[in-house]
């Protein structure tokens, strides 16, 4: 019996990875004694000591900067950034050093590390705690961007990402940290962190989502198929850099209709990129233009208006229905 | 069992109770929300760890509760299954430390497991992709477009007499006078309101009330202060005759080309009378019934291109007049006044004048004066 929530699956994955690999170092604000702001690293310091799990000063630049040093010297650092909105002071380190160390040294050095960041809205917090800025990271060459959506993918993808020679931004959907419980294998297992997951194969419409919105999309689908027995194909994107276009294009060509659901600001977003690429490559097989359900081009509102910003079940259902009837 | 307030994460040790959704004596299901608490950063729903009947709630709304405090007591009753028996104190202590079992779900209680979101047993209807696509439907549109544009030949025509007259008059005008155009947005909120209120009344009397009569009346008042704007300029003799009467030429767009009927002694009309006269001469122009007398003798000219949606233009002087006032399509303008932003109806005015007899400064003063006259008209 290993029924875990997302946050617990991450904790278990970290624990098992640290047990197997002595080079893994966990660092971040309050990750040690406190076990992390969301309790993802609970028990790790007790088990592996203060040298492998340690609290840092409040400086994201310091966290990622020192992780670069660790990485270049053979360690495998796992950084925790408390909230997505706090990462920007460390962004300089990411874009100028982490992502281009391999290219800059012409392959002599590599800089693998895992930067764990809770992302997205839905917990009624302030704007720095709720943003969905994954496209910014996907835009930069030299770093993988991976997003789990439930306990099973959280553990499997995290363990896979830790094997990469390249750095990974691991964006954790904080809205569903504790909302989804699932029975998952207790022993370590890996899911390809560069490949999309087709949860259900179908011929009528392709639905692509990830993170917390994947869960929201599934809720909408459960409702829709009560009355419309549509033959949908559901894809969990998982890897936002690189994007698994083989899977995406094959599906788009097969169904001719694609719905994309995420919670980002849509302009220049991940959904825009997917839409452009699908149109450029699959237009001859499309029946209708790609449809997107996203957030809006505003700073994510405070809690009273947050639910109006995030794609709701109603908005997803409307888009789905329009596309099905197109 | 005692329901211990759990560690909700984010390093929060205490929280304020903002809402209690259940009463003592009411039953509660496992994962159903008992209360909502406010932490520094968020509102968190606290779900019940077990199904049972609430026998005690130890806090009220507004209280501050600490991690480890007893929040409520739940009587598990007789329908308790084996694995939900009351934990021993040791187990409870573990539960509060182990965030996994007790931390509040941020989602609806019934979605805390995803078994209901499993599609592995779902059977859809069968579906075959239809043989249509975006490109094909576009192709059809393009084909039909090509058909209509093919095989039209270029045709050369002689100008009609009307067009010849317009052409020579326009060229004369530009050749023999030095023309400048000033453009200005004039707030006419009062006139806009007045017209809205008066339109229906005018219609009852058979009058089609447009904005044009208002502008003519204000222009006449302004010209009385600036006599060189209501004048005849003979460019050959270099003579300027300032007029005491106001004969207003109105440029009318007709199917046959531009016609310019004149309203004689426009100063004698009231608002409705002016409106009627405009309608009358415009109709005659459209019917091509204007006689020579009705097209000559103007002292200034108005061009109303606003009714066709244009905002600004550079009207050409209807020589020998010294001004041609273009009225653009009405618009809204936001104006900051005493920290408030107000929206006003504006008329974009394009004033062309003969620089031979009027200088720029005078034209600017004329427009400022016109602004005042429009403001005081109603």
DSSP A172-191: EEGGGTTT-EEE--SS----
Q: How far apart are CA A110 and CA A94, in angstroms?
A: 14
Q: How far apart are CA B117 and CA A215, in angstroms?
A: 8
Tell me the chain A residues in contact with residue B128 when contact means C-beta distances shorter than 8 Å.
203
- Verify cis geometry, omega within 30 degrees of 0, for the bond prior to B320: yes
A39–B111 CB contact, under 8 Å? no
Read off φ and ψ for residue B249, nearest 5 degrees: -85, 135
Nearest CB among A124, A181, A254 relative to B113 is that of: A181
How many angstroms separate the CA of residue B114 from the nearest CA in chain A? 6
Specify the pLDDT at position B110. 42
Question: Half-sphere exposure of residue A39, counting CA atoms within 13 Å on the CB side?
Answer: 23
Q: How far apart are CA B176 and CA B199, in angstroms?
A: 42
Tell me the chain B residues in contact with residue A233 when contact means C-beta distances shorter than 8 Å.
none
Confidence tier at B95 by pLDDT (50, 70, 90): very low
Residue ranges, CATH 2.40.50.100, chain B: 2-111
pLDDT (tens digit per residue) in B268-307: 999 999 999 999 999 999 988 888 888 899 999 999 998 8
Q: How far apart are CA B84 and CA B51, in angstroms?
A: 9
Nearest CB among B11, B103, B114 relative to A178 is that of: B103
Nearest to A309, CA basis, from A234, A227, A212, A232: A212
Q: How far apart are CA B134 and CA B128, in angstroms?
A: 17
Q: How much of chain B exceeds pLDDT 70, in percent?
A: 83
pLDDT at B90 exceeding the cut of 80 = no
Nearest to A46, CA basis, from A3, A11, A91, A84: A11
Using the Cβ of B116 and the Cβ atoms of chain A, whether some distance falls under 8 Å is answered with: yes
Stretch A107-135: mean pLDDT: 92
Q: Model-level pTM?
A: 0.57
How many angstroms separate the CA of residue B140 from the nearest CA in chain A? 14
Query: Which residues of A does the annotation mark as catalytic?
Result: 129
Stretch A44-60: mean pLDDT: 97
Confidence tier at A317 by pLDDT (50, 70, 90): very high
Q: How far apart are CA B87 and CA B109, in angstroms?
A: 22
Specify the pLDDT at position A156. 98
Give how far the C-alpha of residue B21 lies from the chain's centroid of Cα atoms, to the nearest Å.
44
B353 forms beta bridges with B180, B323
Nearest CB among A125, A229, A234 relative to B125 is that of: A229
Angle separating helix axes B271-286 and B212-225, nearest 10 degrees: 110
Nearest to A52, CA basis, from A75, A83, A29, A80: A75
Nearest CB among B43, B98, B129 relative to A124 is that of: B43
Six token digits for residue B218:
């204000």
Domains present along chain A, CATH in parentheses: 3-183 (3.40.50.970), 197-325 (3.40.50.920)
How many angstroms separate the CA of residue A30 from the nearest CA in chain B? 9
How many angstroms separate the CA of residue A101 from the nearest CA in chain B? 33
| CA nearest to B11 within chain A | A37
Which range, of A134-138, A187-191, B80-84, averages the lowest pLDDT?
Answer: B80-84
Nearest CB among B111, B116, B119 relative to A199 is that of: B119
B106–A234 CB contact, under 8 Å? no
Using the Cβ of A229 and the Cβ atoms of chain B, whether some distance falls under 8 Å is answered with: yes
pLDDT at A314 exceeding the cut of 90 = yes
Using the Cβ of A39 and the Cβ atoms of chain B, whether some distance falls under 8 Å is answered with: yes
B129–A255 CB contact, under 8 Å? yes
Q: How much of chain B exceeds pLDDT 90, in percent?
A: 47
Is residue A61 within 8 Å of A53, Cβ to Cβ?
no
Residue ranges, CATH 3.30.559.10, chain B: 161-377
Check if CATH label 3.40.50.720 holds for domain B2-111: no
Specify the pLDDT at position B26. 86
Per-window interface: A 124-163 vs B, CB < 8 A = 124-126, 129, 150
Using the Cβ of A84 and the Cβ atoms of chain B, whether some distance falls under 8 Å is answered with: no
Nearest to A315, CA basis, from A226, A209, A229, A231: A209
- CATH class (in words) of the domain with range B161-377: alpha beta
Specify the pLDDT at position B94. 38
Which range, of A84-93, B140-149, B167-176, B293-302, averages the lowest pLDDT?
Answer: B140-149
Specify the pLDDT at position B80. 42
Using the Cβ of B123 and the Cβ atoms of chain A, whether some distance falls under 8 Å is answered with: yes
Six token digits for residue B137:
């439907």
Annotate A278-290 with b (16+ C-beta within 10 A) or e (fewer): beeebeebbbbeb
- Total Cβ atoms within 10 A of residue B146: 8
pLDDT (tens digit per residue) in B317-366: 999 999 999 999 999 988 888 778 888 999 999 999 999 999 999 999 99
Q: Can you state the percent helix, strand and coil of chain A, rounding each to 5?
A: 40, 20, 40
Using the Cβ of B43 and the Cβ atoms of chain A, whether some distance falls under 8 Å is answered with: yes
**Mean pLDDT taken over chain A:** 95
A202–B127 CB contact, under 8 Å? yes
pLDDT (tens digit per residue) in B104-151: 333 333 444 555 688 888 999 999 988 876 776 654 445 455 555 556
Residues in chain B, overall count: 378
Exposed, middle or buried: residue B81 (CB in 10 Å: 0-12, 13-18, 19+)?
exposed
């Amino acid at each position: 019996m290993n029924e875990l929530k997302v946050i617990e699956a991450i904790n278990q994955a970290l624990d098992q990875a640290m047990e197997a690999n002595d080079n893994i170092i966990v660092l971040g604000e309050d990750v040690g004694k406190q076990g992390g702001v969301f309790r993802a690293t609970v028990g790790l310091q007790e088990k592996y000591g203060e040298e492998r799990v340690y609290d840092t000063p409040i400086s994201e630049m310091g966290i990622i900067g020192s992780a670069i040093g660790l990485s270049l010297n053979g360690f495998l650092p796992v950084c925790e950034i408390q909230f997505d909105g706090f990462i920007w002071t460390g962004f300089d380190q990411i874009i100028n050093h982490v992502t281009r160390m391999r290219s800059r040294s012409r392959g002599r050095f590599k800089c693998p590390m895992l930067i764990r960041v809770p992302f997205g809205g839905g917990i009624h917090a302030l704007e720095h705690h709720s943003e969905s800025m994954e496209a910014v990271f996907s835009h930069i060459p030299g770093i993988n961007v991976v997003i789990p959506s439930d306990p099973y993918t959280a553990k499997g993808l995290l363990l896979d990402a830790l094997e990469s020679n390249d750095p990974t931004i691991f964006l954790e959907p904080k809205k569903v940290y504790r909302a989804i419980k699932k029975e998952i294998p207790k022993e370590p297992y890996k899911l390809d962190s560069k490949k999309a997951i087709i949860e259900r194969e179908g011929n009528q419409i392709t639905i692509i989502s990830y993170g917390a919105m994947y869960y929201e999309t599934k809720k909408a689908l459960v409702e829709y198929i009560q009355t419309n027995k549509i033959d949908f194909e559901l894809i969990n994107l998982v890897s936002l850099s690189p994007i698994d276009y083989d899977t995406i294009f094959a599906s788009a060509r097969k169904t001719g209709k694609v719905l994309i659901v995420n919670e980002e600001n849509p302009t220049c977003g991940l959904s825009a990129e997917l839409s452009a690429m699908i149109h450029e490559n699959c237009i001859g097989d499309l029946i209708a233009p790609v449809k997107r359900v996203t957030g809006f081009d505003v700073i994510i509102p405070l809690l009273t208006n947050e639910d109006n910003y995030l794609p709701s079940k109603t908005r997803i259902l409307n888009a789905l229905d329009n596309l099905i009837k197109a | 069992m005692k329901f211990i307030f759990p560690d909700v994460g984010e390093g929060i040790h205490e929280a304020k109770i903002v809402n209690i959704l259940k009463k003592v004596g009411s039953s509660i299901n496992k994962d159903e929300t008992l209360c909502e608490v406010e932490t520094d950063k968020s509102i968190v729903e606290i779900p019940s760890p077990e199904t049972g009947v609430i026998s005690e709630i130890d806090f009220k709304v507004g209280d501050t509760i600490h991690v480890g405090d007893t929040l409520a007591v739940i009587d598990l009753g007789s329908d308790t299954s084996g694995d939900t028996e009351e934990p021993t104190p040791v187990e409870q202590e573990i539960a509060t430390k182990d965030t996994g079992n007790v931390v509040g779900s941020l989602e609806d209680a019934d979605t805390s497991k995803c078994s209901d979101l499993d599609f592995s047993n779902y059977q859809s209807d069968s579906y075959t992709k239809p043989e249509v696509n975006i490109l094909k439907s576009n192709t059809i549109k393009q084909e039909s477009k090509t058909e209509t544009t093919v095989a039209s030949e270029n045709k050369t025509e002689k100008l009609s007499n009307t067009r010849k007259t317009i052409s020579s008059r326009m060229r004369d005008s530009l050749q023999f006078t030095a023309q400048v155009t000033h453009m200005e947005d004039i707030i006419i909120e009062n006139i806009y309101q007045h017209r809205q209120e008066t339109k229906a009344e005018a219609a009852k009397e058979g009058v089609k009330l447009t904005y044009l009569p208002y502008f003519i009346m204000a222009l006449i008042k302004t010209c009385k202060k600036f006599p060189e704007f209501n004048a005849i300029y003979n460019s050959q003799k270099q003579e300027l005759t300032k007029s005491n009467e106001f004969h207003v030429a109105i440029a009318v767009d007709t199917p046959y080309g531009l016609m310019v009927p004149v309203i004689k002694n426009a100063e004698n009309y009231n608002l409705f009378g002016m409106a009627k006269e405009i309608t009358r001469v415009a109709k005659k122009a459209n019917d091509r019934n204007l006689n020579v007398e009705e097209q000559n003798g103007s002292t200034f000219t108005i061009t109303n291109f606003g009714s066709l949606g244009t905002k600004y233009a550079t009207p050409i002087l209807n020589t020998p007049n010294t001004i041609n006032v273009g009225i653009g399509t009405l618009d809204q303008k936001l104006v900051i006044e005493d920290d408030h932003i107000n929206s006003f109806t504006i008329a974009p005015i394009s004033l062309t004048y003969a620089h031979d007899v009027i200088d720029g400064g005078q034209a600017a003063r004329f427009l400022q004066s016109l602004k005042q006259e429009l403001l005081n008209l109603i």
